[in-house]
Amino acid sequence: MSREIRAAAGAPTLEDVARAAGVSRATVSRVINGIRNVDPAIQEAVKQAVEATGYAPNRAARSLVTRRAETIALVVSGAADDSEPERSAFAGRVFADPFFGRVVAGVAEFLRPRSMYPVLMFAETPADREQVVSYLRQGSADGALIVSTHADDPLPALLASAGLPAVLFARPSTPLPMSYVDLAHRDGARLAAEHLLARGCRRIATITGPLDLPAGQERLAGFRDVMARNGFPHVPVAEGAFDQESGEAAMDRLLTEDPDLDGVFVANDVMAQGACHVLRERGRRIPEDVAVVGFDDSAVAPACRPPLTTVRQPVEEMAAEMARLLQNHIEQPGRAEALSVIFEPELVVRESA
């Protein structure tokens, strides 16, 4: 009824199981690793012995010989000056945007059936980045999934030149021989612009993401593209930083520039939420006076009042694909070529537009 499970101290080893089953270590190893060519009877005996001894294979010993950690790192990578005073809050700031939670969820979901779990790393300073490289070089993880928060993040290049397997979320701002997943940002922005136009808006502005980020540029480009094609060669633009505060400030500027605007495309949901607050404080009804379209379809979108119409980015699937790509690179060291997988966005209509 009660299985004997000895404490970690004198944990049973392959040797113990072998003795209990009356076979050799090699044979036990074979059945544990599911290698065929093992007599069914012996297989059964071994399984019983495993059960009886409460055996659990030792990860370190296995890794030492297979040269695989069976672990991957998920690193959120910033690029602050060393001087930045409040660097310690980086990890905290990161999760203020539900976006990163979705990345974690997507990766974890993909890994779980493989009995793997991501190691979470935050890298902001040069020292942090060295730590990430060290971690991988020590074989603590077989590869890394990188999500950069800044355009000039040096980590991807560092990893590339060290020949360490890595996959990026979003195209790097300077070309690199690395696989990445990304979204068709332009298409997403087009969806937003067309929706705003279709519902009758004629004085439309946009709040962009950081314009040094490809995602920021492309969402703007796609938006402008549609607007220009529809007879609006000039649209008011305010740059934000993907956080709520900058969204509020940007909305403020836009409203000053054109008090009569009737539509805004905001480059992410968190900023859109901020924009909505400012709009309502200035007495605008949403969407009657001003229609708002966000981007991401993160947790804040449905939580907003009114619920946000937004462009869905399938972050979880993108994250899972990242993990899949990384797996390939790990399994074929050097052999696998750098790929990019681009996902299509989708308009999610709620009430804000």
Edge-to-edge, what's the strand order for the sheet holding 291-296?
Answer: 237-239, 204-208, 263-266, 291-296, 309-312, 346-348
Residues contributing to the site for DNA (CB under 7 A): 11, 13-15, 22-27, 29-30, 32-33, 36-39, 41-42, 55, 57-58, 61-62, 64-66
Rg (CA), the chain: 26
CA distance 224 to 216: 12
Indicate the residue among 15 and 337 with the shorter CB distance to DNA: 15
297 binds its own copies (CB under 8 A): no
- Min CB(66)–its own copies separation in Å: 9
Indicate the residue among 11 and 94 with the shorter CB distance to DNA: 11
- Min CB(25)–its own copies separation in Å: 16
Residue 30 contact, options DNA, its own copies, none, Cβ 5-8 Å cut-off depending on partner type: DNA
83 binds its own copies (CB under 8 A): no
**Of positions 51, 157, 163, 340, contacts its own copies by CB under 8 A:** 163
Q: Give the three-state DSSP class for 85.
A: coil
37 binds its own copies (CB under 8 A): no
Take residue 234 and report the two structure tokens written for it.
Answer: 């000039």
- Min CB(216)–its own copies separation in Å: 22
Contact indicator for 116, 138 with CB cutoff of 8 Å: no
Element (H, E) at 278: helix 269-281
Q: How many residues bind its own copies (CB under 8 A)?
A: 64
**Residue at 20: amino acid letter:** A
Number of other CB atoms surrounding residue 35 within 10 Å: 11
Take residue 143 and report the two structure tokens written for it.
Answer: 């590869």
Please name the residue ranges forming H helices in 98-213. 98-111, 126-137, 155-161, 185-198
Binding site for its own copies (CB under 8 A): 5, 7-9, 11, 56-61, 63-64, 67, 69, 71, 73-74, 88-89, 91-92, 94-96, 98, 100-102, 104-105, 108-109, 112, 115, 117-122, 128, 131, 134-135, 137-140, 162-164, 244, 273-274, 277, 280-281, 299, 303, 305, 316, 333-334
